[in-house]
Every structure is written in structure tokens, then in C-alpha cells.
């Protein structure tokens, strides 16, 4: 499969091409998902070097295990899970921050909540992949930092500042609809 002949391939096609050894497809996957992985890793409040190590390890493990991906459309969730596990391993080793371990959390309710949180994070990444390009790019830009500023995001994306809020509103409305379609409501989250 030659990627040069196709302008925009979906994630599944990119994964399939990368599995067949297409270096360009792999590079596009790395380019597409690195911002999401950085945002996920940043939530663990690791030092810069540790965060870079986790990112590199995540991509190395993804590359080594790429053939095991049966559904390329689930690439975001798969990568997020690898990054999450690598962050947990690192924090466990260094003891710099305390992250709950499912074996030591305590009650079954706590374990259920943690598993639901992990599952929901993967589901959200999957739903974000289904957003129109402009909304997906904006969502990722807004979630890369804990306190995004519209001016910075607009400058980085080359958009007018006044377009960020309305695009964000459309994005969140679409995500809410997608969550409701899967019957994931506030009741599920409580």
C-alpha cells in the first residue's frame, strides 16, 4: 500500500500499512498520536526526562507489538493503555508520586471505579478519533495542558481566537452525543 498516493487515510489503514512495513505509515501514526500520549503522560506529573522516557518506551513497545493489533481503529486506546502502564511502572519504581495500584486500592468499589476510569479514558480516545478533523485537533490542543489558553491554542493552530470557543462547544456537544449513543451517562460515571 503506497501512502504517498492517498491524502488522508483513516487510522485503521495506517495501522495496516505500518504492519506491512510501510515506514511512512508508522511515521504518520507517531505524528498523529504523540500529542495525545504526551497529554496522558503529563497527567502523572513526571519530570521532563521521565516523561520522555515513558513516551519513547511507549512507542518502542507499540512498534515491537504492532502486529498484534487486530483492529487499527482502536490504536488510540491501545497506545493510551501502554503509556498508562509504563507510567505506573515508572512511578512504582521511583516512588516520586503515589498512584493507586489496583491490588492495593482497598475496596472492590475502588477497584471498579479505577477500572471504569481506565476503560472510559480509552473509550474517550476512541470517540475523539471519530470527531471531524478540526474538532479533533482542537480537542487535543486543549487537553495537552492542564490550563489551555485560547490565545495560545489559536496561535498554534493558526485560527482566529474567536473560533476556538464555538468549535470547542460543537466538539463537546458531539462527544456528549457519542457518549449517550453508547449509553455512557452521568449515572454510569457516578
* pLDDT tens-place string over residues 141-161: 887 766 678 888 888 888 898
Which one has a higher pLDDT value, 140 or 6? 140
User: pLDDT tens digits for 14-33?
Assistant: 999 999 999 999 999 999 99
User: pLDDT tens digits for 59-108?
Assistant: 999 999 999 988 888 898 899 889 988 888 887 665 434 444 545 555 55
With cut-offs at 50, 70 and 90, classify the pLDDT of residue 185.
low
Counting residues of the chain whose pLDDT is more than 70, the rounded percentage is 74
Residue 158, CA distances (Å) to 7, 35, 150, 161 in order: 21, 17, 12, 9
CB-CB contact of 63 with 33 (8 Å) = no
Flag whether pLDDT at 40 surpasses 90. no
> At CA 174, angle to CA 168 and CA 178, rounded to 5?
140
**pTM over 0.75, yes/no:** no
Which one has a higher pLDDT value, 93 or 6? 93
Flag whether pLDDT at 50 surpasses 70. yes
| Average pLDDT along the chain | 78
31's enclosing H/E stretch is: helix 23-42
Amino acid at each position: 500500500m503506497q501512502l504517498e498516493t492517498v491524502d488522508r487515510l483513516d487510522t485503521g489503514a495506517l495501522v495496516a500499512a505500518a504492519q506491512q512495513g510501510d515506514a511512512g505509515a508508522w511515521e504518520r501514526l507517531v505524528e498523529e498520536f504523540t500529542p495525545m500520549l504526551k497529554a496522558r503522560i503529563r497527567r502523572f506529573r513526571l519530570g521532563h526526562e521521565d516523561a520522555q522516557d515513558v513516551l519513547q518506551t511507549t512507542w518502542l513497545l507499540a512498534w515491537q507489538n504492532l502486529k498484534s493489533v487486530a483492529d487499527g481503529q482502536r490504536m488510540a486506546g491501545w497506545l493510551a493503555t501502554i503509556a498508562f502502564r509504563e507510567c505506573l511502572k515508572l512511578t512504582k519504581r521511583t516512588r516520586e508520586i503515589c498512584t493507586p495500584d489496583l491490588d492495593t486500592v482497598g475496596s472492590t468499589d475502588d477497584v471498579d471505579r479505577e477500572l471504569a476510569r481506565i476503560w472510559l479514558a480509552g473509550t474517550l480516545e476512541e470517540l475523539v478519533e471519530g470527531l471531524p478533523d478540526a474538532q479533533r485537533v482542537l480537542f487535543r490542543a486543549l487537553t495537552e495542558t492542564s490550563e489551555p489558553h485560547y490565545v495560545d491554542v489559536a496561535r498554534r493552530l493558526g485560527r482566529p481566537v474567536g473560533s476556538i470557543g464555538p468549535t470547542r462547544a460543537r466538539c463537546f456537544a458531539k462527544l456528549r452525543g457519542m457518549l449517550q449513543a453508547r449509553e455512557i451517562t452521568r449515572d454510569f460515571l457516578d
